[in-house]
Amino acid sequence: GAGVSQSPSNKVTEKGKDVELRCDPISGHTALYWYRQSLGQGLEFLIYFQGNSAPDKSGLPSDRFSAERTGGSVSTLTIQRTQQEDSAVYLCASSPRQGPQETQYFGPGTRLLVL
């Protein structure tokens, strides 16, 4: 079946502009995660959605970052007033449900470059 998809695959933007990154999780998966992979910080957690519960935003690095998940499916990560340090690969993952034993399936990522 279809895996996690993300768009765009690559995004180049100018400093100060806003960007939106999209994630389509595997159909039926209730848990959705965003991670960031950067040279300086490695792979780090950003935000988590589970069903209709309030998201866990504990990993968001600043208030310029926000995310939403509409209808319990598609999620959008928005970065406002982008900075050069936001350049990274943004990875989305989904799992059938929340729980430590659940496998998280990752999308191919969106590579963001802020000039």
Partner 1 sequence: AQSVTQLGSHVSVSEGALVLLRCNYSSSVPPYLFWYVQYPNQGLQLLLKYTSAATLVKGINGFEAEFKKSETSFHLTKPSAHMSDAAEYFCAVIDYSSASKIIFGSGTRLSIRP
Q: Which is nearer to partner 1, 16 or 61 (CB)?
A: 61
Q: Is 96 in the site for partner 1 (CB under 8 A)?
A: no
Q: Give me the torsion for CA of 40, 99, 5, 19, rounded to 10°.
A: -50
Among 38, 73, 87, 104, binds partner 1 (CB under 8 A): 104
Please give the sequence-ordered ranges of beta strands (E in DSSP) within the chain, or none if there are none.
5-7, 10-13, 19-24, 31-38, 42-50, 65-69, 75-79, 88-95, 105-106, 110-114
Q: Which is nearer to partner 1, 5 or 80 (CB)?
A: 5
φ, ψ for residue 96, nearest 5 deg? -55, -35
Q: Is 18 in the site for partner 1 (CB under 8 A)?
A: no
- Contact letters for partner 1, residues 24-53 (x by CB under 8 A): -------x-x-x------xxxx--x-x---
Here the tokens at position 34 are 């965003």
Among 13, 22, 73, 102, binds partner 1 (CB under 8 A): 102
φ, ψ for residue 72, nearest 5 deg? 70, 15
Give contact residues for partner 1 (rule: CB under 8 A): 4, 31, 33, 35, 42-45, 48, 50, 56, 58-59, 91, 93, 95, 98-109
